[in-house]
């Protein structure tokens, strides 16, 4: 999988904003936005690694729940993967920003982790309820 480092986000974001400014119709703006959001996929591995290295957690919009009963009320030991709500996911990111760990980061680390949070929020924005 092709990946990009988080430091390259600023360049891509500037190019996106320039393309967006050149759009004349709402349809062109929507297409440009969708293309940009799709392009953020290449940053996800770097964003996940940055969060894991700094906060020692795996930030994901999905949660694993234990599915103890199936539809017929039979006991199972399966797990179900479900999406968090947008509010829950954003609150988790906000908790990390308010954490002591975030407050102790130097400016370079803060920029890197802020880019990671931007990628998570923007990429998953439309897929979460």
Contact 125, 63 (CB under 8 A): no
pLDDT of residue 79: 72
Residue 71's pLDDT is 58
Q: Is 53 within a domain? A: yes
Task: Give the pLDDT confidence score for residue 69 in this predicted structure.
Answer: 59
Residue ranges of the chain with per-residue pLDDT less than 70: 1, 67-78
At residue 72, the pLDDT reads 59
Q: Where are the alpha helices (DSSP H) in the chain?
A: 9-22, 26-39, 44-55, 86-98, 100-103, 107-124
Residue 57 lies in a domain: yes
Packing angle, helices 26-39 and 9-22, rounded to 10: 170
pLDDT of residue 64: 79
pLDDT, residue 83, reads: 86
Domain that holds residue 71: 6-124
Q: Is residue 22 part of a domain?
A: yes
pLDDT at 126: 85
CA distance 63 to 59: 10
Task: Give the alpha-carbon dihedral of 126, 114, 92, 41, to 10 degrees.
Answer: 40
Asked whether the beta carbons of 112 and 6 are under 8 A apart, the reply is yes
Task: Tell me if 129 is assigned to some domain.
Answer: no
Domain count, the chain: 1
């Amino acid at each position: 999988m092709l990946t990009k480092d988080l430091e390259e986000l600023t360049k891509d974001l500037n190019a996106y904003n320039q393309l967006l400014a050149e759009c004349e119709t709402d349809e062109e703006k929507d297409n440009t936005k969708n293309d940009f959001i799709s392009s953020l996929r290449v940053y996800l591995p770097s964003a996940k690694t940055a969060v894991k290295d700094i906060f020692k957690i795996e930030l994901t919009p999905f949660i694993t729940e234990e599915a103890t009963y199936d539809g017929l009320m039979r006991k199972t030991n399966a797990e179900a993967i479900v999406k968090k709500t947008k509010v829950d996911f954003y609150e988790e990111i906000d908790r990390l920003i308010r954490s002591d760990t975030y407050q102790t980061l130097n400016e370079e680390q803060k920029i890197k982790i802020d880019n990671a949070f931007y990628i998570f929020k923007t990429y998953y924005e439309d897929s979460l309820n």
